[in-house]
Structure 1
């Protein structure tokens, strides 16, 4: 899917604040975006602007901040060992700083004033000075950076904000699900998503408007996925691709009500009555068509991220998958997927059910300061992956056995690849030193006991 890198009116935009936090806001026309202590501005100022720019807020207006130039750090002998931090090193009090802020002094001037009055600033290393400036800028500057709501950024936003809303689905685990499930344009997939639509958005992005996606949910009306509102998908990516059924209508034993567009009394009461009956008939026909599409099967994959028992979900939807279709189940708990794997191993229709766990660790990559980030997430959940195989029916199995039996007992039949192997009897042999010249015995010299396989013809 080709991503639009320009902000449009009505889009949902992610804003990175100086503190590093991400805020999501919808840019309605002639509306005001409030960023709390970082100020407020008119939403129209961001329309038709590219993503990735940094803006400074000043009296409800925004100005683009040019990117900083790369500066080479100078070698210095300064260390932090002689620094004795305390209130005495910074004579500028909090009340004086608040007075400067209310008087309209720019954040850079406040930071410069703090640096000039800092008693131990010259004793800091260049790295410590840089960290000090960034910490003060995050505290006093009124700026933000627009972040494009890609799947990666949206998943990161929800994982930090409220990861239980997406069942703890981390971005690296989500990418593994798409790869294991072989999500691609033109594919037909079934998705069970209780992760606020994160899984649905990932499959839709892979389809790119070409394919079919049916979601199974537990609500009567089409589910309102919060994540989809942030992805800014155009209608052509969802209208003809995405459809949803609830668990009741996805049951073959369920009998939907057949509605008619004709009035029961022979005439329409009003034009609104006619429109209402027509809409009900259209919805009823769409439900019948969608059920037929699901029951016809031959889907290319099944993705599950649900709070319900995954085994019951697979038993319900597995018959609708085609041959070699991929099954990917996500769960934040290992016990759930391990129990599922033990059950699927007993079913010959599931090929190689395996469990995987991803590990993600961020690194700070700066000149002379490359190291792993000390705080990170403990885990990204667990995945179970399997491939559907068509099991041989009893009639096909009997036919193959009969064909093999006739070929084996008929001497004039042509040779077949399958043949009987001689029986193998495992015998225990205790070698002696006198048998050292024998080849088999020489291989066993130095051992107390060795095993030799002896073939015996029938």
Structure 2
């Protein structure tokens, strides 16, 4: 596939690595998300590497790490297949440590001669006394283990929701509430995420769920992120490396203002103290950096120096104060406009999808945000534990207004497939049994109380579904 695209000239430009792109480094089952920057050292698996030589290469290319941390495209050889005839079972193999004829000194001597990892692995296989008695699966497992130890290679992948979910789940599963990639795919499917959707998201998974939704939508539609605390967390969204127009469809709204929005008492012209304080901190840091700059080498007389210093200090303070005031006003005006826009999107047009995936108890969050969901629209709630979702299930059954309510739990297992046997992998079995519970449902009706709370006429739903051009516009 890659060779065909490479012959088409500029058609494969989107499949090639460019400077500034966000990529994922892969070695075995270890992943790391980085950005391609010129002459920047990247630490991966306790090793310094430079990614400059990866520019203009195709994604999913395997590189060999040379001395000095530089990369070189690696020519792959078929060493994963058994090199000799395989045995039927391993019952007659005794692990006494004497089956390998090569010693550690011999292997170090081979490295000093400049032999590559593939050649060293071939030497190890040739000098292994019981390699031919191993089963085919054991031979492949042995070669894979030696590859990990002696081959100094890295693969560069294009970020996707599956790859990033595997990366987070393997390195820091607590950051994403132990959300596995198959459960994430089930959530996106149950919510029917597609281009042009209007999605309301509340998640504390480092932005992984938010980025997966934006990837499915392809830059069309609108996403409103409800966030707790001082500001939205979007570390996972940055790792996707979306184009600039993708972020134009992303909006945020503090969940602490939801009740005020429902009651109609939200003051959209008020200043956002959180944003203002954050901006003040940035300005103070910039001012400190300017003050810490080294003084000029050429200096005048003490009198001239004092006069220039006093005049410069006064002028500098005035200019800095004016710049701060202008930036504050611009920041406040942008925040006010953005808040009004989000309120308009939520209140006037409602939302098509609702996805909740957080470490907080989902019941009060779901009951509060469910009022913004349009009728006959799906919502999905994820939790690492089943007890909070059972409470949500019972509460929704009591309140009514929903159909097709169900709790699902996905299992994922890796199996060893041999010639005569099939059994679960003993290494990965404890890690992939369960990945949390998903609550899926469809909102059936919207009560009159919710309509009055949002100050909308009862016929707004009819107008909303009749005006398809407005409903599918990029603005909302």
Q: TM-score, normalised by structure 2?
A: 0.72
Q: Which residue number in structure 2 is paired with residue 107 of structure 1?
A: 117
| Equivalent in 85, 102, 106 of residue 92 of structure 1 | 102
Does the alignment pair 1:381 with 2:436?
yes
Q: Report the Cα offset of residue 84 of structure 1.
A: 2.3
- What is the alpha-carbon distance in structure 2 between the residues aligned to residue 316 and residue 227 of structure 1? 26
SS of residue paired to 2:200: strand
Structure 2 residues without counterparts, runs of 5 or longer = 1-11, 272-318, 450-476
State whether residues 348 and 391 of structure 1, in contact with CA within 8 Å, keep that contact through their aligned partners in structure 2.
Answer: no
State whether residues 197 and 352 of structure 2, in contact with CA within 8 Å, keep that contact through their aligned partners in structure 1.
Answer: yes
State whether residues 53 and 72 of structure 2, in contact with CA within 8 Å, keep that contact through their aligned partners in structure 1.
Answer: no
Paired residues for 1:13-92 under 5 Å: 13-17=23-27, 19-36=28-45, 40-59=48-67, 60-69=69-78, 80-92=90-102
Aligned residues: 382
Q: Which has the higher strand share?
A: 1
- What is the alpha-carbon distance in structure 2 between the residues aligned to residue 289 and residue 78 of structure 1? 68
Does the alignment pair 1:208 with 2:218?
yes
State whether residues 93 and 133 of structure 2, in contact with CA within 8 Å, keep that contact through their aligned partners in structure 1.
Answer: yes
State whether residues 27 and 43 of structure 1, in contact with CA within 8 Å, keep that contact through their aligned partners in structure 2.
Answer: yes
Q: Which residue number in structure 2 is paired with residue 243 of structure 1?
A: 251
State whether residues 73 and 126 of structure 1, in contact with CA within 8 Å, keep that contact through their aligned partners in structure 2.
Answer: no
- What is the alpha-carbon distance in structure 2 between the residues aligned to residue 367 and residue 3 of structure 1? 43
Q: Which residue number in structure 2 is paired with residue 191 of structure 1?
A: 201
The 10-residue stretch of structure 1 (378-387 or 82-91) with the greater mean CA deviation from structure 2: 82-91
Q: Which residue number in structure 1 is paired with residue 301 of structure 2?
A: none
Call closer, same or farther: CA 1:274–1:346 in 2, change over 3 Å. Answer: same
SS of residue paired to 1:329: strand
State whether residues 345 and 352 of structure 1, in contact with CA within 8 Å, keep that contact through their aligned partners in structure 2.
Answer: no
Q: Which residue number in structure 2 is paired with residue 309 of structure 1?
A: 361
Paired residues for 1:191-340 under 5 Å: 191-221=201-231, 223-239=232-248, 241-250=249-258, 251-252=260-261, 253-258=265-270, 270=322, 273-340=325-392
Q: Report the Cα offset of residue 392 of structure 1.
A: 6.7
Call closer, same or farther: CA 1:136–1:204 in 2, change over 3 Å. Answer: same
- What is the alpha-carbon distance in structure 2 between the residues aligned to residue 189 and residue 210 of structure 1? 11
Q: Which residue number in structure 1 is paired with residue 184 of structure 2?
A: 174
SS of residue paired to 1:89: coil
- What is the alpha-carbon distance in structure 2 between the residues aligned to residue 248 and residue 53 of structure 1? 46
Q: Which has the higher helix share?
A: 2
- What is the alpha-carbon distance in structure 1 between the residues aligned to residue 84 and residue 60 of structure 2? 29
Does the alignment pair 1:356 with 2:408?
yes
Structure 1 residues without counterparts, runs of 5 or longer = 260-267, 395-458
Which is bigger in relative contact order (C-alpha 8 A, separation at least 6)?
2
Q: Over residues 15-51 of structure 1, what are the superposed CA-to-partner deviations in whole Å (9 max), with x where a residue is unaligned?
A: 221x4322332221221333346x5432111112111
Q: Report the Cα offset of residue 132 of structure 1.
A: 2.3
- What is the alpha-carbon distance in structure 2 between the residues aligned to residue 337 and residue 94 of structure 1? 55
SS of residue paired to 1:87: coil
Aligned-pair Cα RMSD in Å: 3.0
Determine which structure has more spread, i.e. the larger CA radius of gyration: 1
Does the alignment pair 1:148 with 2:158?
yes
Q: TM-score, normalised by structure 1?
A: 0.75
Call closer, same or farther: CA 1:4–1:163 in 2, change over 3 Å. Answer: farther
- What is the alpha-carbon distance in structure 2 between the residues aligned to residue 92 and residue 315 of structure 1? 67
